[in-house]
Structure 1
Amino acid sequence: MILHHVVDGPADAPVLLLGGSLGSDVSLWAAPARALSQRYRIVRFDHRGHGLSPVPSGDYEIADLGRDVLALLDHLGVPRAHYAGLSLGGMVGMWLAAHAPERVDRLALACTAAFLPPAQGWLDRASAVRGGGLAAIADAVLSRWVTPGVDPGPGPRAMLLGTPPDGYAACCAAIAAMDLRPALPRIAAPTLVIAAAEDLATPPVLGAEIAASVPGARYAVVADAAHVAVLQRPDEVTDLIARHLAGDPVGDAAAIPAASRHAAGMAVRRAVLGDAHVDRATARADAFTADFQDLITRYAWGEVWTRDGLSRRERSLITLAMLAALRCEDELAMHVRAALRQGLTPDEIREVLLQVAIYAGVPAANAAFAIAARTLASIGKEPHDT
C-alpha cells in the first residue's frame, strides 16, 4: 500500500515529509509547502484512511501509520528525510524517529501529544463517526482547530467532511491505544516541538512534556492559535520549521512556562467541571480574585490534574473523600457533579462517603451524604443510578 502523496520542489533538494492532523488531507500543508519548496523537496501525504489514501479495514495503530511512511520513502527511493507533523502527523513522526532513526534527519512536532487519554473518549468519537459520519462531530472538531470567534472557512470543513468515516474512526482507535512516552528518550533527531497557546486538544503543556523527554529538544509556542495552528498562523509555523531545518536554535530549552500551565489547566478544568461552571467562575473574577483564579488554574489544574500518575476518575474519588472529610460543602457539591462527568456512578460516590465515615468520622460523612444526595437530586440522578 502506497499513501497518496504530492511532491513539490527541486528533485535534488533535501526531502521534507509533511504529515497532517486527524481529519485532514494534503491540502492542510499547502501554504507552508509553497514556501518551503524553494529549498526542500516537499512530500505531503495523506495518512491511511484519509484523503485519497487507501482505507484498510479494522482499527489502526500508530505503528501502522509509521510503517506506511517508511513504505512511502522506499517507494520514492529516499533513504533519509526531514519530517514535520501536526497532531496525528506529529504522533507518527515520534514513532518514526524512535523506531527508524536512520530514516529521520530533523524532526518538527506541532500541536501533538505522546499520550492523550482518556481512551474511551476516542472510542466514543470513533463510534459516533461510524454511526453518523463526520458530520456528527464536525462542529465540535472545527471549534478546536481555530481560536474562538475565528471562522475556519469552507476549506477545512470540506476537508474534514471528506475524510472517510471508517478511516477516521480507525485512527481514533490508534490514538486511544497510543503511549509513545517510553520511546521519546530514544529519539536522536534534532527535534523542535511547536505548541499553540490556545490549543485545547493538545495543550501546550503536553508539547513541553515531549520536549522535556526528547534529548536536546527545543520548545516554541505560537500565540493566538489553536489546535491546527498551521491554518491560523501558517507563516509563524513555517518560519519555525524552516529555521529548525536550517540548524538555527529555535525556541527554548524544554520547560513548562506559566502560560502553558495556564492553558493546560484551563483545558482540564473545563473537562472536569464543565464549561458552564468555569465560565461562571471566570466571569465572577475581579481585581481581588483574579490572581487566585490564575493560581488554581495553573497549579491545581495545570500541574496536578494534568499528571499521568492517576486517572481523572481516580483523582475525582480522592478529591471527594478529602472535601467530605474537610467539610468543604460548596466544593463538595461541585465535585459530586464533576465526578459524574468523569464516569463515576452514585453508588461509587456512596462508597467513597462510607470510607469517609470510617476514617474521618460519622458527622463529616453525614453532612457529605446530605450534600451529595441534594446534588444528585438536583440533576435528576437517584442514589442508586448506575
Structure 2
Amino acid sequence: MIPDYELTGPPNAPVLVLSNSLGTDRTMWDEQLPELSSRFRVLRYDQRGHGKTPATPGPYELETLGRDVLDLLDHLEIVRVRFAGVSLGGMTGMWLAANAPERIERLALLCTSAALGTPEDWRERAAFVRANGTGAMVDSTLGRWFTAELSSRRDVVAKYGGMVATTDDESYAGCCEAIAGMTLEGRLGGITAPTLVVAGYDDPATPPEHAERIAAGIPNARLAVLERAAHLANVEQAERVNRLLVEHFASEGEPMSTASGEAATARTGTGMAVRRQVLGDEHVDRAIELRTEFTEPFQDFITRYAWGELWASEGMDRPTRSCVTLAILAATGCHDELAMHVRAARRNGVEASTIREVLMHVAVYAGVPKANSAFALADRILGEEADGNGA
C-alpha cells in the first residue's frame, strides 16, 4: 500500500525520508522539519493505521512496513533516498538498508533496536491493545518516551498522548507483531549505507546498549549517545539531533563548516553517557557542579577522549579496563583517581578479590610501598561499601 505522506523542501534537493515510531504520526518530526527542509526534500509518511494512513488488519511483518516505503518511493518515482527512523522507523530503515540497499544512500537510526525484548512480550502487548485499545497505553508510553520533566508538560501530554490514543488498535497490534518477528541482528553486517546511530541516555525502551550493538554490527557506523533524552530523543533534544542529522546527511563534498564541531559534540554526548555509567550520576553531577571557567576545557577534553573514545571503545570490556586503570593509578600513586576507580570497578562488576589480585601485581611489578598505600585506600572504600550494603 502507499502510505499517506507529505513532501517539504527544495524540489531538486536530495530526498530525506523520516519514519515515525510505534504509536506516533509524522508530526513527531515537527522539531526537525524547519532545519532539515531547508537543505533536503523531506518526505514524511505515516505507518499503517497511524496518522492519516488507513488501517489494515494485522499481523504485519517488518517486510510489510519496509515494502510500504518502497511502494511510496516508486509512486513518487524516487530512486534513492537518505533515511532516518525512530524506534519502529529505525527498524524499518534497517530492513530497507539490508534488503534494498540500492535505495538507501545514507541511514540514521534513532532510539531503536535490532532485537527488542522477546516475541512473547510483543505478542502480549498486541493482545492487550486489541482487548483494551491504544488509549490504555498512553500513560505507560509517555513514561518511556520522555524524561519526567518533559512528560509532565501539558502540551507534550496533549500532543503525544493524543497520538497514541488515536492510533488504530489493530494496526498498533500488527506493528507489535512485526517487532515480535523481526530478524535484524544477523543482517547488520550486510548494511553498506553510511550509518549514524543515536541513543538517549535515559531511554528505558531502547537503552544505549541496543545502539551500541547496532553500531558494532554495521561496518563503520557512528554512535552518539545524548544526555537527558529518553525514547523520543528527536523531540527532547531536538537541536542536538538536528545538528547530527544535518551533518550525517550532508552530501559528500558539500561544505559543512560545523562538521568537526558536530563530531566533537557526538563524542561529548557519548563520553558523558559512558562516564555516568562507569562513575555514577552523583560523582559526575558533582564534577560538573565544580567546573570553573579555568577547568572547563579540561573537563570537556576528558569527556570527549577518555570517556567518549577510550572507555566507549569495544576493544576491551569494562571490567578489564577497570583492572588496567586500577593497576596504572596504583603504580603511579594517583590516590584521588584510584579511589574513584575502585568505586567504578565495583560498578563495572569487578569483584573485591580481583581488585586484591590487581594490587598484588602492583606490589611485585611497581613496588611494595605503592601497593601498601593502594591496599589501604581500597580496603577503606570496600569497607564503606560493605557497611552501606548492610544498612
Q: Which residue pairs with 2:119 in the alignment? A: 119
CA distance in 2, matches of 1:132, 1:200: 23
The answer to whether the 8 A contact 2:200-2:226 is kept is yes
- Give the counterpart letter for 2:35 in structure 1: A
Q: 1:58 Cα deviation (Å)?
A: 2.2
Question: What is the correspondence of 1:77-116 to structure 2 with a 5 Å cutoff?
Answer: 77-116=77-116
* Displacement of 1:183: 0.7
Residue 262 of structure 1 deviates from its aligned partner by 3.6
Q: Counterpart in 1 of 2:45?
A: 45
User: CA offsets, 1:70-120, max 9 Å, x none?
Assistant: 111001110000000000000000010111010001110000000012222
Q: 1:78 to 1:128 in 2, by over 3 A?
A: same
Contact 1:193/1:207, CA 8 A, preserved across alignment = yes
Equivalent residue number for residue 173 of structure 1: 177
1:1-386 to structure 2, matched below 5 A, reads 1-150=1-150, 151=152, 152-246=156-250, 247=252, 248=259, 250=263, 251=266, 259=274, 262=277, 298-299=348-349
Label 1:173 to 1:10 Cα distance change in 2 as closer, same or farther (>3 A).
Answer: same
Superposed displacement of residue 234, structure 1: 1.1
Residues 62 and 92, structure 2, Cα contact 8 Å, conserved in 1: yes
Residue 171 to residue 209, structure 1, CA distance change in 2 (3 Å): same
Q: Equivalent residue of 2:192, what SS?
A: coil
- Cα offset, 1:153, TM superposition: 3.0
Code of the aligned partner of 2:274: A
Aligned-pair CA distance for 1:179: 2.3
The answer to whether the 8 A contact 1:128-1:137 is kept is: no
The residue type paired with residue 167 of structure 2 is T
* Cα separation, 1, equivalents of 2:245 and 2:17: 12
Cα RMSD, aligned residues only = 2.7
1: distance between equivalents of 2:276 and 2:38?
A: 37
Partner Cα distance (2:73, 2:161) in 1? 30
Deviation at 1:259? Answer: 2.5
Provide the secondary structure at the position in 1 that maps to 2:30: helix
Gaps of 5+ in 1: 267-288, 301-386
1:156-201 Cα deviation digits (max 9, x unpaired): 1111111101100110111111120111111111100011110110
Contact 1:203–1:260 (Cα < 8 Å) also in 2: no
CA spacing shift, 1:256–1:52, aligned 2, 3 Å? same
3-state DSSP class of the match of 1:47?
A: coil
CA separation of 1:191 and 1:166: change in aligned 2, threshold 3 A: same
Query: Is the deviation greater in 39-48 or in 290-299?
Result: 290-299
Q: Is the 8 A contact 1:197 1:259 kept in 2?
A: no
Cα separation, partners in 2 of 1:94 and 1:159, compared to 1, 3 Å: same
Cα deviations across residues 270-312 of structure 1 (Å, max 9, x unaligned)?
Answer: xxxxxxxxxxxxxxxxxxx998886566549xxxxxxxxxxxx
Distance change >3 Å, CA 298–CA 117, structure 1 → 2? farther
Q: CA separation of 1:153/1:190 partners in 2, compared to 1, >3 Å: closer, same or farther?
A: same
Query: 2:198·2:226 contact (CA, 8 Å) conserved in 1?
Result: yes
Contact in 2 for aligned 1:129/1:136 (Cα 8 Å): yes
* 2: CA distance, partners of 1:60 / 1:83: 21
How far 1:20 moved relative to its partner? 0.6
Distance 1:297 1:200, change over 3 A: farther
CA distance in 1 between counterparts of 2:87 and 2:55 reads 20
Question: Is the Cα–Cα contact under 8 Å of residues 205 and 256 in structure 1 kept in the other structure?
Answer: no
Q: How many residues in Structure 1 have an aligned counterpart in Structure 2?
A: 276
Q: 1:217 to 1:260 in 2, by over 3 A?
A: farther
Structure 2 residue identity aligned to 1:189: A
* Contact 2:198–2:223, Cα closer than 8 Å, also in 1: yes
Equivalent-residue separation in structure 2 for 1:118 and 1:295 (angstroms): 31
Percent of aligned pairs with the same amino acid: 44
Q: Describe the SS at the equivalent of 2:220.
A: coil
Report the CA distance between 1:256 and its aligned residue.
9.6
Q: 1:222 to 1:43 in 2, by over 3 A?
A: same
Kindly indicate whether the alpha-carbon contact (under 8 Å) linking 2:225 and 2:273 is maintained by their aligned counterparts in 1.
no
Q: Quote the residue 2:301 is aligned against.
A: none
**Alignment CA distance shift 1:258-1:138 (3 Å):** closer
Match of 1:304 in 2: none
- The CA distance in 1 between the partners of 2:244 and 2:59, in whole Å, is 34
